[in-house]
Amino acid sequence: MLIKSIFTNSSGILVSRILGFIRDLLTASILGANIYSDIFFVAFKLPNLFRRIFAEGAFTQAFIPAYAKTRNKIQFSSAVFLQFLAFIMILALFVTLFSKLITHLIAMGFDDATVDLAAPLVAINFYYLPLIFIVTFMAALLQYKHHFATTAFSTALLNMAMIGALLLSKDLDKYEITYYLSYGVIIGGILQVLVHVMAMKKKNLLKIFTFKKMAIKENKFYKNFIGATLGSSTAHISAFLDTWLASFLMSGSISYLYYGNRVFQLPLALFAIATSIALFPMIARSIKNKDENRALALMKKSSLILLGLLSIATFIGIVFDELIIWLLFERGAFSAQDTQNTALILSMYLIGLLPFGLGKIFSLWLYAKEQQFKAAKISMISLGFNIIFSLILIKPYGAAGLAFASTLSGFILFFLTIKAFGFTSFKKLFTN
């Protein structure tokens, strides 16, 4: 079951990432690495940050244990869905009304003219967030039923919509292209919702949306969600900080970080995230049934698989960094100098692939035991070190220094996660 679920997730992620690289290839070729690509990536950064926190961590890690324990599953799910969706829609309206302020906060290095260009795009892209919450909510229910395929493959729809937007607008003014891309993001989100509704209907789960009233205090859900949000967001907030600080560097720096991080995210998603998505419902069920030995056995098996796969990916990525970037992006408006700059950043990120990947597996133990705030404390300490490292390294090393600061914080995150899991338990896990 575990291997099959990992393979399903990995296959879906691989298809999505291949389409994502085609999207990035077209973006690099059509927009290049300049002010227009920078303002789109800034606009897409905020909803993408929330998407990664929701879809790859916080919501699922809080929801599945609570859902497993509650006796009133329909009422509990309905209450969570309505309350979250209402909050997110209010937040989206706030971003629309104050888009210039939000843009300035995201990229303080932008001058007023650049903020004016980026603000409308920020407002449009943010409406992807309510769509992706609906997707994440339905995905969590499907994962609990051991159905992973729909969610794994659905991100491909976002990439297909954005590829379509790029092809339709390739001969237009670069600023108009950023609008097409932004509306492509929204269309992609709508498509993701539709395929999840179809899967929910097939699994007879649409009865969840009967919206029966229920108080959910007994599940400690929101407390755990806040802790899970803090605990699972370190890598994503780190990338967000990179963008913010890079806005003070030379033009193109934001794009170099984006492209380098995109390549780094492929093995992380393909192996670590795919494994954690498949593993978490199994660990949560085992702990609920007081069968910790089975949960530990699953973690050991997953960790050994990841150790091998991520080690190979790290070696290949660092040795062939420039070749990888050249093959993927160097065409059209993306120059040889852009390739060199992006390749260096990719190597800095890849050094942290193992600690980020393995740390994700062992953090699941804390989430399954509803120790979200312990995970949150670890995450915040790591994030604090990331900020310190970034401020130290940005001046001498520029964007590459920001990428390496993120990697250093990943090692701290891994060390503290293993400490919370227990050094003795960790050692025993791999010696028995």
Q: What is the pTM of this model?
A: 0.71
422 Cβ contact partners less than 8 Å away, ≥ 6 residues apart: none
Q: Nearest CA to 110 among 246, 241, 240, 242?
A: 246
Which pLDDT value is given to residue 218? 47
In the prediction, which pLDDT does 213 show? 58
Residues in the chain: 432
CA gap 5, 178 in Å, rounded: 37
| Distance, CA of 312 to CA of 418 (rounded, Å) | 22
Asked whether residue 47 carries a pLDDT value surpassing 50, the answer given is: yes
Looking at residue 209, the DSSP 8-state letter turns out to be G
Pair of tokens at residue 96: 């629309």
Confidence tier at 418 by pLDDT (50, 70, 90): very high
Instruction: State the DSSP code for 34.
Output: S
State whether residue 172 is helix, strand or coil: coil
256-270, 309-323, 381-395: lowest mean pLDDT where?
256-270
Rg (CA), the chain: 21
CA distance 207 to 211: 9
**Domains held by the chain: number:** 1
Res 193: pLDDT = 94
Q: Is the pLDDT of residue 219 over 60?
A: no
Q: How confident is the model at residue 233 (pLDDT cuts 50, 70, 90)?
A: low
Q: Where are the alpha helices (DSSP H) in 98-173?
A: 99-106, 112-126, 128-144, 149-169
Q: Tens digit of pLDDT for each residue in 91-122?
A: 889 988 998 888 888 777 787 888 888 889 98
Residue 35 domain boundaries:
2-431
| C-alpha–C-alpha distance, residues 245 and 252, integer Å | 13
